[in-house]
Structure 1
C-alpha cells in the first residue's frame, strides 16, 4: 500500500527516504517525476512540485501529470505540504495548519484551462465531484495523530486559499480573501485538491506559515524571515509525515465525497 507525498518550496527531498531517485513517469497529461521508495517503513511515492533547485515556479507545476502518475503507480492516498502566507493576523508564523476547507474560485490550472481531468464531451469517466469537505477525513486524522506523536502543535482546521502565481497578492486581494474566511494562501494546492477529488484519491494538506500576506500586518514580513521559516518547514513537515504514515496505511483511507459519473461507470 503506497502513499503519495507532495512537497513544495523548501522541501525538495524527504530526509532519510530510501529511494533510487526521481524517475520520469509518462501520463496522458505529460511527464511527472516520481521517487519510489521506503520512508519510515512505508512504501512512498514522492513528487517534488518544483523540483530540486526549484526550476518550476508555481505556473510551471504539472498538476494533472503529477496526480495521474501517483494514481497509476498505486497510491491509495496523498499527503501534501505547502508553505503559506498567513491571512489571519493572529496566526503565529512557524505554526502548522491541517486544512479542512478550500477557497479556489477560479478552478483553473496554471495555463488557464479549467482544473479537471474531464476535458472531452462523452468521456466515460466524466462526472461531478460532490462533497461536504474537500479533504479526506481519514488522512486529516492521520496527519493530526502524527503531529501529536511527533510533538508538533498543529491547528486542526482552516481554509486554504489558492492564489495564482508567480506573483504575490495585493493588499486588496488579501482583504477579499480574509472576508471569505481564508486562513492562509499559497500557489499550488488548489488544483491538487480538485484533481485528487476527481480521481477519488484521498488527499490531505498541511500548511506551514512562513510570512504574513500583504497588508495583514502593519509592516511586511522581511524576506529573510520568510526564507528562514521556509527552511524550518522541512524538518517540521518531515517529523509529522513520518509519524503519520503508519496511520495513513492502517486502513485504506476514504476519498472526500463522491464523483457522480454521468457515464454510469
Structure 2
C-alpha cells in the first residue's frame, strides 16, 4: 500500500526518508515527491513549501501535487498543517483532527478555480458528493495515533482556509468564528478538494501555533509562534509514525463520498 503524506511549514522532510525528491511531470507542472520507507510503509512525501520554505502559501502547486500522488498510486493521503486557532478552548501546541471545511472561494492561489477538471470533455469530470470532506476512517487513525504518542488532540473541528501570504484582520477572523471555524491556515482547502476529486481518501491534522488575530486578549508573541512551529515537526513526525502502521493494518480505505460523472 502506498501512502501519501503532505507536510507544511516547519516540516520539510521525514526522518527515515534519506532520498532526494523526484520531479514528477503533471499537466499542471512538476511536483517534487520523495519516495521511500517511513514507519514500515512505502510513503510518497510532498513538502508543500519545498526545501527551505522556497514557496510561500501563495506559490504552492496543489493541482500538480495531488495529480502526482494519484499517478504514483497513493491510496490515502495524510496532510498536516500548523494553524492559528480561532477558538480559545484549543490549547496552543495541541493537535486537531478536522472533520469539516470552510473554503467558500474554491480558488487556487492564482485565482483560478480549484479543480482537476479543467478541460471540456475531460474523462472523469464530474462532482464530488460527500457528507464530510475528511475521510472518517483516516480521522480515527490520526486520533488513535496522537493518543498513542501521548499528545493532546481534539476530535473534530472546522478547518478554515484563508488566502496567504498575509495574515488576517480581526474582522475577517470574527467572520470565520461566526461560521464555526476552529483554526485557520493557508494551504489545506485546495488540497482537500483536489484529493476528493482525485478519489484519494484524505485527512488533515492541525497543530495550533497561535491564536488568530483578535481571538485572545493579547496577541500570541511572534517568538512563541516560531517556537511552536519548530516543535510541530517532531510532534507531526511521531504522530505520523504511529498512524502509518495503523493505516497499513487497516488497508486501503474506500473513497470518501461518491463522484457524479458524465462519461
Report the TM range for the smaller structure's normalisation.
over 0.9
Question: Cα distance, 1:122 vs. partner?
Answer: 2.1
Q: State TM-score, norm by structure 2.
A: 0.98
Alignment of 1:140 with 2:158, yes or no, is: no
Partner Cα distance (2:54, 2:199) in 1: 30
Paired position in structure 2 for 1:18: 17
Question: Cα distance, 1:19 vs. partner?
Answer: 3.5
Question: Cα distance, 1:97 vs. partner?
Answer: 0.1
Partner Cα distance (1:142, 1:232) in 2: 22
Pairs aligned (count): 262
Gaps of 5+ in 1: none
Paired position in structure 2 for 1:193: 192
Q: What do you get for the CA RMSD once the two structures are aligned?
A: 0.9
What pairs with 1:177-256 in structure 2 (closer than 5 Å)? Answer: 177-250=176-249, 251-256=251-256
Partner Cα distance (1:201, 1:18) in 2: 23
Question: Residue by residue, what CA displacement relative to the aligned partner does 1:78-131 show, whole Å, maximum 9, x if unpaired?
Answer: 000000000012221001000000000000000100000111222221101100
Question: Residue by residue, what CA displacement relative to the aligned partner does 1:187-240 show, whole Å, maximum 9, x if unpaired?
Answer: 000000000000110000000000010010121111101000000101111111
Partner Cα distance (1:146, 1:47) in 2: 21
Q: State TM-score, norm by structure 1.
A: 0.97
* Alpha-carbon contact 1:136-1:254 (below 8 Å) kept: no
Alignment of 1:118 with 2:110, yes or no, is: no
Partner Cα distance (1:215, 1:144) in 2: 29
More off after superposition, 62-71 vs 244-253: 244-253
Alignment of 1:156 with 2:173, yes or no, is: no
Partner Cα distance (2:168, 2:88) in 1: 16
Alignment of 1:5 with 2:26, yes or no, is: no
Runs of 4+ displaced beyond 2 Å: none
